[in-house]
Amino acid sequence: MPKISRYLTALLGVTGCIGLLVTGEINPVMAAGGLAIIPGYYRVLRGREAAPAWVIGAASLLTLGVFAFDSIVSGDVFLAVAHLTITFQAIKSYDLKEPWDHLQVYFMSLLQMVIGSEMSQSVVFGVVFVLFLVSLVAAMVFAHFVKEGRGAHIRLARPIVVISLLSVTVTSAFFVVLPRSSYTFLGKSHTKGIRTTGFSDRVDFGSFGEIKRDSTVVMRVELDPDIPAPYYWRGMSLDYFDGTEWRNSSPRQSRIEKSGDEYVLNPHGRSGLVEQKIYLEPIDSDAIFGLTEIMGIRVDSFSARSDSGGAVFLSRKSSRRVNYSVLSEVRDDYPGVASPRYLQLPRGMERIRELARTVTSLGRSDGEKARMIERYLKRNYSYSLEPSPPVRGRGLIEDFLFYGRKGFCEHFATSMVLMLRAVGIPARIVNGYCGGEKNQYGGYLIVRQSDAHSWVEALIGGQWRRFDPTPAVAAPQIPSLALFLDSLKMAWARYVVGFKTDDQKAILRALSSLLASPSFPAVGWKRLRMYGLLITLIGIALASALLLLRGVKAGRHGFASRKYLAMRKLIGVRGRRAGATTPGEVMRMSQGSSVEEEIREFLGMYVEDRFGKRPMMPSERKRYGLLLKSIRTGLKKRRG
Amino acid sequence: MKQRTITREGKRFLVAAFLIAVAAVNTGNNLIYLMLSLMLSFLLLSEVLLNINMKDLSLEVFHPAPLFASEEAVVTVVLRNNKRRIVTYSVSCMPSGALRPAYFVKVGPRGKEEQDVGVLFPQRGLYRHGHFPLRSGYPFILLAKTRRIAVEGSVLVYPALRDVSGIIGEGGSGRADAARRSESGDDMYALREFRHGDDWRKIHWKASARTGELYVKEYAEYESEKVTIVLDNLLPEGGALFEKAVSLAASLARYFIENGCFVRVVSSGKIISFGKGEEHLFTILDILAVIREEETWGSPAQDGRDGFFITVMKSRRHSNPYAATGEAVYAEDL
């Protein structure tokens, strides 16, 4: 096998393994055998012999044993197969004899990429995919020549670049037009969701403290029309508190009716609504988020459900990235029905009840009382993610209100709910996300785990009104580069991972309107920016290809010829006739110049190296380079 | 006419693509759709690039040396890429009679490449080039396509030549020895223009210098240097024996001409008059390459100026008007 084919096989083998490693799901112990791939391909590149058949056989048997053990212990056969492919890639690197062995490595890498695509939705996987595509094109083209018995000494850089660009284009076209199914029929997704708490029927008090230290992006949101902050992304509301845990006392869910492609929660028109296109990362909850009050949801899902607390859930078998649009009538209150469960209080509330009465003593209405509690909590308590642990025998909220006086959103919201209930105002806690930073590169909001938040809804005058007793905390500034990288992640999530049938329809509609339109249709600034980014990326790809080709062209010539060509260009020999110009003619052209002597010596050295079959010694090469430098300087001075 | 085949690797690739398609539909995972798109793009590009690669190609075949039946020789295959901008890669061509295909790694736009290929024709005759199969699997190893491409012209394959020194009798070998020793006698009677195969020693330098063209001396044709080879090509059909007889006649012609004799070949309906030198040998070979068996003997009877006669008979069962004259050799003895 030619050396280049061995390199490409090594690259593809390693790329396949990287495709799995970037998913972050690989167990290092079970895939430890894969480390052998490094010495394996080192041997291949050094042209060493393949390992004896019995060694390969024994290693394969051992690997199968480990696979069986892995499958049984982890209970995840899919992941065990991923580990198996990594170890087999390593074994194969010691068993590359025939061209077909190399093709087996290509197929194995393909399998690894497919497994990886089921385990990860990260943009890093996209980068590995592009590397894989280019490597596979190069390997397949060389494999063709190897099959014809002509693998060595063929310059294929240009066709490989061209075919790679064509492959990217055609792959993109296929990706856009292939009919989609957004449902999982058999098996389950192997994408691990972001571990989060607060979005289930039972939530331990204090669990948000850990989440709020996590800056993982949970969702990205495009708003149409853009509205100013604050943004309260409502998730679930909970009504029952036993002193240590919040619960939903009425977890019964009902199906939401679908009208066309929309699940309608409240009949609505189109005007005055804010559409939120939400790209929700895989999380371990079926709850979805949106601004209050959610009127309708467009999502690819078998069904959608809601509970009595106004939370919306999707019917999902898999925890994978979900894209959906929420239509909301954005406001701070919306209609609600009173229920005794919104007045439930745990035992041992006397001190809190007393405090609530004191704080609200001057309040004349429920609304005013609620405002007073909210203001009281905001002004008299401070925000901390590390509140002091409660003293044994003392309630969590009692400890916060009367001793610690430091806490995070859960402390503030729970305290307010209990105080409101203590004065007879129905209230509930709402868990969701609050805020989000604007990314100027993509014009969308980034919502992180650290934006997880609890707030309060109080039923006042038949309306649920939102209160947020947590004091404001300055959000950390995100560097521009991080925001730019996030915009790339968003593009990946939006246009690749989250591409769906609706997008296909939109592209078709855009194309048909473009064809039907007598003039070029008006393009919005947002869209223009997207096209700009696309054109820039294509430009970068083309420029890289051209640079590569230039490099290949230069690589055709040896050291002496390369310098000679540069010198010839310096003295003005260019264009079609340059190839036919002899060193003697170059000498004649430079007669009378200030660097004539240098050129004479330079040409002498070139001719001796090129045609005299006496390659330059290192010292001569140095001199040769210096001569070119002085010729360049001399000619520049003359022009200057 | 084009013919597409899916290679072994291509079949496996198709199976893998099908399985990935099932996985994509089952999971609805866009990244698996992306992998599927990649595989489909490879298949599509294989087809499209292969078509472009094999488009606008033309072939020419040259024979730098004469071809003899059952003798390995070399032909030069020239592949021209008539496309204006696109390079053609990895094309192989199998000319008729070739022992292995001619393989072209790369042919630039509006360029041509040459390849020498060994050929072996089992039988003499005129072979029309017709359509040569042109094959390529570029760029990947998934598909291969064969396209038959018309090549103008034909190739004349001469009869197989063999050593006849052990076959001819004393009369024939004596005549050859005499001709070799006499160097065609000394009686120069004319000058003629130099022809390919003429002996350089016979160049008339004075006349050549005067006219600026090469002239050779022609000597009187002595009776003792004349050899008539009679080829028995009368029906009934001799089949393999006839082929052997033609080969024998051609070999005899070469033997006598190389020894300096004036050689004439007489067959049914065809007489190649006396001549010598390499050019005359190829005149004889040209005729013998395509000679067939005839129903009647249309050649004139012998006269006294025909020199030594050697008759090549298919077998002893056949008869020929010349058979009784001079020596006879039999193809069935070979």
Reported as a single tens digit per residue, the pLDDT across A347-395 is 888 888 999 999 998 888 999 999 999 999 999 998 888 887 777 777 8
Output the six-digit token pair for A109: 């890498």
Reported as a single tens digit per residue, the pLDDT across B57-68 is 998 888 878 889
Asked, for residue B235, whether it belongs to a domain, the answer is yes
Q: Alpha-carbon distance A329 to A326, whole Å?
A: 10
| Stretch A152-158: mean pLDDT | 76
Distance from CA of B6 to the nearest CA of A (A): 13
Q: How confident is the model at residue A474 (pLDDT cuts 50, 70, 90)?
A: confident
Report how far apart, in Å, the C-alpha atoms of A477 and of each of A97, A493, B73 are: 56, 23, 81
Contact A101, A95 (CB under 8 A): yes
Report how far apart, in Å, the C-alpha atoms of A485 and of each of A276, A442, A489, B201 are: 22, 10, 6, 89
Per-residue confidence (pLDDT) for residue A479, from 0 to 100: 76
Reported as a single tens digit per residue, the pLDDT across A63-77 is 999 999 998 888 888
Higher local confidence (pLDDT), B281 or A153: B281
| Residue A555 pLDDT exceeds 50 | no
Reported as a single tens digit per residue, the pLDDT across A261-287 is 889 888 888 788 899 998 888 777 788
Among the ranges given (A243-247, B30-34, B64-68, B192-196), the one the predictor scored with the smallest mean pLDDT: B192-196
Asked, for residue B163, whether it belongs to a domain, the answer is no
| Stretch B182-189: mean pLDDT | 57
| Residue A554 pLDDT exceeds 50 | no
Q: How confident is the model at residue A207 (pLDDT cuts 50, 70, 90)?
A: confident
Reported as a single tens digit per residue, the pLDDT across A432-448 is 998 888 887 778 888 98
| Stretch B226-244: mean pLDDT | 81
Same structural domain, B204 and B113: no
Q: Alpha-carbon distance A330 to B146, whole Å?
A: 67
CA-wise closest residue to B329 among B233, B229, B236, B262: B229
Among the ranges given (A90-94, A174-178, A549-553, B322-326), the one the predictor scored with the smallest mean pLDDT: A549-553
Higher local confidence (pLDDT), B334 or A74: A74
| Residue A584 pLDDT exceeds 70 | yes
Q: Please name the residue of chain B whose CA is at the shortest distance from the CA of residue A153.
A: B105
| 3-class secondary structure, B3 | strand
Q: How confident is the model at residue A145 (pLDDT cuts 50, 70, 90)?
A: confident
Higher local confidence (pLDDT), B111 or A537: B111
Instruction: Considering only the beta carbons, identify the residue of A174, A182, A184 that sits closest to B37.
Output: A174
Per-residue confidence (pLDDT) for residue A338, from 0 to 100: 85
φ, ψ of residue A262 to 5 degrees: the values are -125, 135
How many CB atoms neighbour CB A200 within 10 A? Answer: 17
Q: Per residue in A290-325, is it b (16+ CB within 10 Å) or e — as a string?
A: bbbbbbbbbbbbeebbbbbbbbbbbebebbbbbbbb
Per-residue confidence (pLDDT) for residue A530, from 0 to 100: 64
φ, ψ of residue B36 to 5 degrees: the values are -65, -40
Q: Which of A72-76, A143-147, A245-249, B9-13 has the highest mean pLDDT?
A: B9-13
Per-residue confidence (pLDDT) for residue A317, from 0 to 100: 47
Distance from CA of A305 to the nearest CA of B (A): 22
A167:B141 CB<8 A: no
Contact A253, A305 (CB under 8 A): yes
Task: Report the mean per-residue pLDDT for chain A.
Answer: 83
| Stretch A559-565: mean pLDDT | 84
Asked, for residue B164, whether it belongs to a domain, the answer is no
B38:A114 CB<8 A: no
Distance from CA of B247 to the nearest CA of A (A): 39
Residues whose CB is less than 8 angstroms from the CB of residue B235 and which lie 6 or more positions away in sequence, other chains included: B293, B294, B295
Higher local confidence (pLDDT), A220 or A150: A220
Per-residue confidence (pLDDT) for residue A557, from 0 to 100: 66
Among the ranges given (A311-315, A450-454, B147-151, B168-172), the one the predictor scored with the smallest mean pLDDT: B168-172
Q: How confident is the model at residue B220 (pLDDT cuts 50, 70, 90)?
A: low
Same structural domain, B92 and B198: no
Same structural domain, B251 and B127: no
Domain of B202 in residue numbering reads as 188-219
| Residue A551 pLDDT exceeds 50 | no
Q: Which residues of B touch A184 (CB under 8 A)?
A: 26-28
Asked, for residue B65, whether it belongs to a domain, the answer is yes
Asked, for residue B247, whether it belongs to a domain, the answer is yes
Q: Alpha-carbon distance B89 to B318, whole Å?
A: 57
B42:A320 CB<8 A: no
| Residue B268 pLDDT exceeds 60 | yes
Higher local confidence (pLDDT), B61 or A545: B61
Per-residue confidence (pLDDT) for residue A427, from 0 to 100: 94
Reported for A502-508, long-range contacts at CB under 8 A and 24+ positions apart, including other chains, are: A502/A261, A502/A298, A504/A176, A504/A177, A504/A180, A507/A176
Q: How confident is the model at residue A196 (pLDDT cuts 50, 70, 90)?
A: low
Same structural domain, B62 and B82: yes
Contact B142, B46 (CB under 8 A): yes
Per-residue confidence (pLDDT) for residue A524, from 0 to 100: 61
Mutation test of the interface with chain B: which of A154, A174, A315, A494, choosing the one with the most B Cβ atoms within 10 A?
A174
Higher local confidence (pLDDT), A469 or B177: A469
Same structural domain, B286 and B179: yes
Same structural domain, B199 and B227: no
Same structural domain, B16 and B124: yes
Same structural domain, B274 and B151: no
CATH value at residue B66: 2.60.40.10
Same structural domain, B303 and B284: yes
Same structural domain, B141 and B176: no
Distance from CA of B145 to the nearest CA of A (A): 13
Asked, for residue B114, whether it belongs to a domain, the answer is yes
Number of domains making up chain B: 3
Q: Which residues of B touch A189 (CB under 8 A)?
A: 27, 29
Contact B261, B176 (CB under 8 A): yes
Contact B284, B250 (CB under 8 A): yes
Q: What percent of chain A has pLDDT over 70?
A: 88
| Residue A39 pLDDT exceeds 50 | yes
Tell me the whole-structure pTM to 2 decimals: 0.68
Same structural domain, B19 and B106: yes
Q: Which of A408-412, B165-169, B232-236 has the highest mean pLDDT?
A: A408-412
Distance from CA of A488 to the nearest CA of B (A): 16
Question: Which residue blocks in A381-500 are alpha helix, DSSP H?
Answer: 396-399, 409-422, 480-492
Q: What is the CA radius of gyration of chain B?
A: 29
Per-residue confidence (pLDDT) for residue A517, from 0 to 100: 63
Q: Alpha-carbon distance A189 to A631, whole Å?
A: 66
Asked, for residue B165, whether it belongs to a domain, the answer is no
Higher local confidence (pLDDT), A214 or A166: A166
Asked, for residue B49, whether it belongs to a domain, the answer is yes
What is the DSSP-derived secondary structure letter of residue A395?
A: -
Same structural domain, B211 and B246: no
Q: What is the CA radius of gyration of chain A?
A: 34
Residues whose CB is less than 8 angstroms from the CB of residue B301 and which lie 6 or more positions away in sequence, other chains included: B321
* Cα–Cα–Cα angle for B271, B274, B278, rounded to 5 degrees: 105
Residues whose CB is less than 8 angstroms from the CB of residue A224 and which lie 6 or more positions away in sequence, other chains included: A274, A275, A276, A277
Please tell me if residue B89 touches chain A, with a CB cutoff of 8 Å. yes
Q: Alpha-carbon distance A411 to A207, whole Å?
A: 11
Q: Look-up: residue for tokens 């999502």?
A: A299
Task: Report the mean per-residue pLDDT for chain B.
Answer: 83
Instruction: Considering only the beta carbons, identify the residue of A129, A147, A148 that sits closest to B34.
Output: A129
Among the ranges given (A370-374, A492-496, B135-139, B324-328), the one the predictor scored with the smallest mean pLDDT: B324-328
Cis, peptide link before residue A583, omega less than 30° from 0: no
Contact A273, A224 (CB under 8 A): no
Q: How confident is the model at residue A553 (pLDDT cuts 50, 70, 90)?
A: very low
Q: Which residues of B touch A166 (CB under 8 A)?
A: 41, 45, 49
